[in-house]
Amino acid sequence: MTQLLAKIAFMLIVAAILIVALFPFYYAFVSSFRTGTELFIPRLWPERFDLTNYAQIFTQQAFGLNILNSMLVALVVVALSLFLGMTAAYALARIRFRGRGPMLFLILAVSMFPQIAVLSGMFELVRALGLYDRLPGLMLANLVLTLPFTVWILTTFMRELPKELEEAAIADGATPWQTARLVFLPLMLPAMVPTGLLAFILAWNEFLFAFTLTLSSESRTVPVAIALLSGGSRQELPWGPIMAASVVVTLPLIILVLIFQRKIVAGLTAGAVKG
Amino acid sequence: MKSSAPPADPDRARVRNAWVFLAPTLIALAIVAGWPLARTIWFSFTDARLDDLTRYGFVGLDNYLAYDDGEWYGVLAEADWWNAVSVTLWFTVVSVSLEVVFGLAVALALNVRFPLRGVVRAAILVPWAIPTVVSAKMWAWMLNDQFGVINYVLMGLGIIGTPIAWTASADTALWAVLTVDVWKSTPFMALLFLAALQMLPQDCYEAAKVDGIGPVRALWYITLPLLRPAIITAVIFRALDALRIFDLIYVLTSNARSTMSMSIYARQQLVDFQDVGYGSAASTLLFLIIAMITISVIALGRLDFDKGATR
């Protein structure tokens, strides 16, 4: 009897965790189908599935373009970070050289930078390169977020690989480049998936740079577009369209998380320093 | 490695290769981190303005602190700056503490085997994965004073009599920010703790059971001490995140004084007031605070960065 009660209590706790985690998203989803005065009567259940808000963000705003911008920025940033991260991780994880410890410290230190501390310098740099209000400027800026973190995680993963494989390759006369490409790249693919995914989420969610380094609505990324979504009147925010936009942006991330959850957890844990 | 040495000096060749492989990343980091940081620090000694960054004069430490005509000027003499410092510190301490407690609770619950555990674990990743801007907007809507579901439910339950303007009133705005941050970041903590829990040796618990030690004491005397490294790591990471918080506060309460963090203050000076010199001084101070905390934590904890490296 007490065992049954304990079991019920436990399931209630789990249910509470689930509700707290998911309710805001559920409520945004339900709200996104409401328009006009309907929106202003809070109710927990959906009444009907009216897609007006969704149509509005794509026709009255450049939201489709914003999604494309976010995609482009995030994909380029991920590709660059993975490429640079792999080469750096090879050196940091597999070769013993003077200055490796300080180098790892430096890279970790960059990942702890407050973004605001590089903002004015970044603004000047992006302006000077003629990249202000253009996507390449954002790609460049986002590297400061994703690169240190990618190098760090990939280094952690690469240390775990057996050294016999590498020795065999060297004994066979492979150049370092060949060793990296033919031996490590295939072995590192399972590590690159979660690392790339985490970098993608970082770049997709980035706000401060995207907000400061772009001006026109055509070059905005999704977070900036949502933050600046405004309606006809000054007083009232268009909550319906904002919720619709939130749902559109969140759904792909939820799907990614559900598919790759095990790998994401592995990447997150590897990224944390094991003190 | 030594037994299968190819001709010439393999170790020296390998070391040279290490630098060749590192070079692209180092150059990239120098461009996107080193140079902008150096320029920000430089700007903090100038009267540069955002509209024209090519014309500025050197003003020394005036942006930080200056004495003129019987009055102090500069960031360090500004009440708003010190308000931002105290808001940020309060926020960091309270949010990280709450996230440790909730994170542990969630991790302990998910460490128990039950049907659909994988689904629950994936579900709690959702708050962490969605953009901060989106979570801020979703919560802003739920916390809306007139039409928000939170006021509706609380009034329905008779807990409050009149709707509360959660994000607009100075008394509640910081708590609103805190709630959203805890909601968003607890999953990250929970997953780190869960990973650590699953690596704990099981024989301790069996021995404890044999000795008749109850689950609460086992948690206190076995689990928590063993989890210490994971907890410290998570606290450091989250604290550094909390100290530089920007997105969430900006979207939820904009530039309101009661929730102004150091990053919000710096950006307001830098972009809204176009004062790059002054804003850069504030940014540099925040950078110094975070750098000092990072260095002291690393020195105190003697974290070994090169651990696990074998070759």
The amino acid present at A66, given as its one-letter code, is: N
- Residues 189-248 on B with a CB inside 8 Å of A are 191-192, 194-195, 229-230, 232-234, 236-237, 240, 243-244, 246-247
Q: Tokens for B279?
A: 């804003």
Instruction: Check if the beta carbon of residue B64 is closer than 8 Å to that of residue B74.
Output: yes
Please report where in the chains the tokens 């008779």 appear, as a residue: B158
For residue B34, with 0-12 CB atoms within 10 Å meaning exposed, 13-18 middle and 19 or more buried, which class applies? middle
Interchain proximity A120–B39, CB inside 8 Å: yes
User: Which residue of chain B comes nearest to A92, CA vs CA?
Assistant: B18
Low-confidence ranges of chain B (pLDDT < 70): 1-10, 301-311
pLDDT at B211: 83
Contacts of A151 in chain B (CB under 8 A): 25
At A119-167, the pLDDT tens digits run 999 999 999 999 999 999 999 999 999 999 999 999 988 888 888 888 8
CB of B301 less than 8 A from some CB of A? yes
CB of A9 less than 8 A from some CB of B? no
CB of A8 less than 8 A from some CB of B? no
CB pairs under 8 A between A and B: 317
CB of A123 less than 8 A from some CB of B? yes
Report d(CA B265, CA B263) in Å as an integer.
5
pTM confidence score: 0.90
Interchain proximity A119–B294, CB inside 8 Å: no
Interchain proximity B37–A20, CB inside 8 Å: no
The amino acid present at A250, given as its one-letter code, is: T
Nearest to B178 by CA among B266, B88, B104: B88
Q: Tokens for A16?
A: 């509470």
Q: Angle CA(B270)–CA(A135)–CA(A211) in degrees, nearest 5?
A: 30
At B22-47, the pLDDT tens digits run 999 999 999 999 999 999 999 999 99
At B207-242, the pLDDT tens digits run 888 888 888 888 888 888 888 888 888 888 899 999
Contacts of B187 in chain A (CB under 8 A): 21
- Residues 126-145 on A with a CB inside 8 Å of B are 127, 140-141, 143-144
pLDDT at B280: 96
Interchain proximity B142–A27, CB inside 8 Å: yes
CB of A45 less than 8 A from some CB of B? no
